[in-house]
Chain A
């Protein structure tokens, strides 16, 4: 077991709390740097998708996991970023500049969505974002002069100063750098007063307000940052997929994103990455297991949905903290060995408290 002896207040908010953190994250960083040489093209592409979805997931986690505002329309922000990137890059704008523009435009859209969000709570907010997601999807489909409509939009490969970043390895590093910067940014935000205000809003709006937190401002800010991250992820997504069509940003995508943060573990940054790994690796695992299953089950078009549904139900019922929660338990078990007790993480029984009386 490790005991931290704190000698200064700065240790409380340090990103790496102790030597173990430094060692393991450094190892992870090295592994990620070496990945293009260690993995073949296919697995590198999958890793690339994990990174892209992590960026989007960071945004949704900030909003849903840390501010407590649930969005069932996050694919709209992803799509806004992706289409902005696609259109700008096709016009010849350098791609880092286009990425910044994609993030900013998504943030602006996020502020617009936050306007009804300031008046509504809980499930109403979910439905407002759901409605917004549908409208944006329809806009992508109908605004043919810009988005190419249902015929789709081809995105040129990212170029800067004559160098093509579109290849597997070069683009992997673009994604890696973006992901690391976003992760550090979010971690830093969360230990700053702004992030603390977000968490306060999540835990209780009334007490947050009593402590002098401007609810409207911080909720809008949370939506804006979340949308910006989703837009940034969308920009990367546009290059990775290189062909955009409106149905990629439908309600199903939004639910997938939500699934990712819930299964990863709401309220933890680690959960984003675990969730992204789950979301990307699950279709592969299902495809692999298809040969083992009887034909009626293996060939059914709903197999993936069924597996997602069962996993989601299982996590909500048995592991509300998600994959990260499971890891916490394993880690505690290892740290306390042999003193771990079964009831350590037991949930408290409670009655539903009415949300309507807010």
Chain B
């Protein structure tokens, strides 16, 4: 029973990692860059939802939708303002740029008087409810996390598999120039991808908020989503979720069965082992450059 309980909390935590990793993978698939700002976008999304509920007195669902819309716009704005001008520059410039964006977002949020420096709770309607299934105690918060992640995954998978937009995104991720010649508006697509990634991050933020709290440094959890993305294979959407689940479960089990200190390092040990054994990840594509 205890193992099941641990697995459950690991899976719920893993879903959060998976959702953040989904953001990495979306951006990576479309623009071949890794966004270090993903965790901070998540933080901003959670703050947006909190602001909607606390300041404007909206019900949870309205605030959530509003936060999503605002963050999609914000993601596209970021892409437009800072990512687009250096499109095509070395990958590492863009990585540094996203680190900079993360710093700026974290700094800006602490400057909002009375909100940025405090820790808040997001008053979701399902807070502190528990289901009992046999001997298993299920937090509704955790169940919602798992359910929402599953729905989001199916939606994204369907989009990339069946919609014209998703296929165009895949094409531009493989070769921007060729995609452009085929009539795909690469720049507009990149904007959309950033908006989508910001939306996924916002969902992750709102799901995480009831479990932890809303505060300026909650974005650091994004650093644990990197192992998730790598374990799953950086270019694979299902891989991101599976990787997230693996990392979450490993972390949860390591926290219980292994000595102190392994809980926080377990994800990184897993990712190092993964990189040594199978650098392309579980679902990664195997491609070689031919000269």
Return the contact of B287 from the options A126, A262, A300, A356 (Cβ within 8 A): A356
- 1/0 contact trace for A60-98 toward B, CB 8 Å? 000010000010000000000000000000000000000
B260 within 8 A of A: yes
B121 within 8 A of A: no
B227 within 8 A of A: yes
Return the contact of A300 from the options B34, B116, B176, B235 (Cβ within 8 A): B116
Tell me the number of A-to-B contacts counted with CB atoms below 8 Å. 172
Q: For chain A, which range describes its interface: under 10, 10 to 19, 20 to 34, or 35 or more residues?
A: 35 or more
Complex Cα–Cα for A123 and B35 (A): 11
A42 within 8 A of B: no
Taking A123-B91, A316-B100, A354-B32 as contacts, is the C-beta distance between A132 and B268 under 8 angstroms?
yes
B176 and A351 form a contact (CB under 8 A): yes
Q: How far is the CB of B144 from chain A (nearest CB, A)?
A: 29
Stretch of A112-120, A212-220, A229-237, A271-279 contacting B (4+ beta carbons < 8 Å): A112-120
Complex Cα–Cα for A206 and B290 (A): 9
Q: Which B62-95 residues have C-beta < 8 A from chain A? A: 82, 85-89, 91-95
B275 and A355 form a contact (CB under 8 A): no
A19 within 8 A of B: no
- B interface residues, how many (CB within 8 angstroms): 66
A351 and B216 form a contact (CB under 8 A): no
Contacts of A255 in B (CB 8 A): 99
A119 and B104 form a contact (CB under 8 A): no
A251 and B279 form a contact (CB under 8 A): no
Complex Cα–Cα for A210 and B291 (A): 10
Contacts of B216 in A (CB 8 A): 302
Complex Cα–Cα for A134 and B85 (A): 33
B256 within 8 A of A: no
Return the contact of B95 from the options A123, A302, A305, A351 (Cβ within 8 A): A123
B134 within 8 A of A: no
- 1/0 contact trace for B260-274 toward A, CB 8 Å? 110011011101100
B234 within 8 A of A: yes
Taking A138-B264, A313-B101 as contacts, is the C-beta distance between A119 and B276 under 8 angstroms?
yes
Complex Cα–Cα for A258 and B103 (A): 14
B117 and A300 form a contact (CB under 8 A): yes
Return the contact of B268 from the options A131, A258, A313 (Cβ within 8 A): A131
Which residues of chain B have a CB within 8 Å of any CB of chain A?
28, 31-34, 82, 85-89, 91-97, 99-113, 116-117, 173-177, 180, 186, 216, 223, 226-227, 230, 234-235, 260-261, 264-265, 267-269, 271-272, 275-276, 279, 285, 287-289, 291
Which residues of chain A have a CB within 8 Å of any CB of chain B?
64, 70, 115-116, 119-120, 122-124, 126-128, 130-132, 134-135, 138, 141-142, 206, 210, 251, 255, 258-259, 262, 296-297, 300-313, 316-317, 320, 347, 349-352, 354-358
